[in-house]
Amino acid sequence: MTVEGFEHLPGHPLRPGAITIPAAERELLAEVLRGPVVAGDGLHPLHAYIVAQRGIGESIEDLCTLADFPIEDGPMMGSLQIELHGSMHADTEYRIEGEVVDMLRKHGSLRGPFDLLTYRERVLDPAGVMVAELTNTFVLFRKDTSD
Amino acid sequence: MTEINRHIGPVVLAPIDPERMKAMAVVLDDPNTIHLDPAVVQALGFGNRTINQGPANCGYVIDVLLDHVPGAFLERFAARFLGNVFSGDVLTVEGKVTEVDGVSVGCTVWLENQDRARVLQADAVLRRPV
């Protein structure tokens, strides 16, 4: 069940956006991961997450604001799911749209109550074809709650 | 390399580098200070080392998968983050092939730290080149 007071969140649309990953960022990600650069102008599968997260019109702080969670309290990723339907390329503009899926309250034995904020993003190529779909969850440890 | 129960790895990674964490913050455009400032991590009660970005941990695992099945296309990658990865941690990627259906290869993979604590668990589906 959705956290009380946040019943409006399921289905809440995220501001759409667009982004182009320049070719130079392919090398930067490879350097960070200490891995190989993808051949040609292809993007690493992780770029599906990067494109979606940077391209959507909501920052991580904006997502936290939707959940009434201060960014300085340190949201943590709980899960990340990437579904790739096609290859992605540098220097190509991708549009991103999405929505909040839900926010559920859980109780941890060590750290007390926390909320799981799940949201979904779809990455569309210039022809409007969906090339990737992301479903991610943030863990929001609540400091001030009587729950 | 892709028969059922075929082991993947283990692949031991270089220690998590706080400078690469800062670079990843730029790549992700993520200002979350738990990745940048040990004092913030300490104030939150998670110790005194910066925390590695979850997507970076996924990236290490994805690279091992793609190395295990050369030329494959990653169709699906679903990860659960089970624990924090801190700067200086030494991670090991390991897994196994769980399903083979034509060109589709299913795998389960995980990431463990130097204390053998599992910090990430993922399922993946790759499409082998024809």
Torsion sign over Cα A113, B116, B9, A39: positive
Instruction: Please tell me the distance from the alpha carbon of residue B66 to that of residue B32, in angstroms, as a whole number.
Output: 29
Amino acid at A65: T
Contact of A77 with A136, CB cutoff 8 Å: yes
Q: How far is A66 from chain B (nearest CA, A)?
A: 17
Q: Is B31 on the interface with A (CB under 8 A)?
A: yes
- How does residue A75 score in pLDDT terms, banded at 50, 70 and 90? confident
Cβ of A84 within 8 Å of Cβ of B76? The answer is yes
- How does residue A56 score in pLDDT terms, banded at 50, 70 and 90? very high
In the predicted model, what is the mean pLDDT of chain B? Answer: 94
Cβ of A29 within 8 Å of Cβ of B27? The answer is yes
Quote ipTM for the complex: 0.94
Asked if residue A147 has pLDDT above 60, the reply is no
Contact of B45 with B55, CB cutoff 8 Å: no
Instruction: Please tell me the distance from the alpha carbon of residue A80 to that of residue A134, in angstroms, as a whole number.
Output: 7
The CA radius of gyration of chain B, in Å to the nearest whole number, is 16
- How does residue A115 score in pLDDT terms, banded at 50, 70 and 90? very high
Average pLDDT over residues B108-128: 98
What pTM did the predictor assign?
A: 0.93
Instruction: Please tell me the distance from the alpha carbon of residue A15 to that of residue A97, in angstroms, as a whole number.
Output: 7
Contact of B24 with B10, CB cutoff 8 Å: no
Q: How far is A27 from chain B (nearest CA, A)?
A: 11
pLDDT at A60: 87
Instruction: Please tell me the distance from the alpha carbon of residue B71 to that of residue B66, in angstroms, as a whole number.
Output: 7
Lowest mean pLDDT among A46-60, A104-118, B13-27: A104-118
Q: How far is A132 from chain B (nearest CA, A)?
A: 9
* Digit-coded pLDDT (tens) for B28-69: 988 888 899 999 899 888 899 999 999 999 999 999 999 999
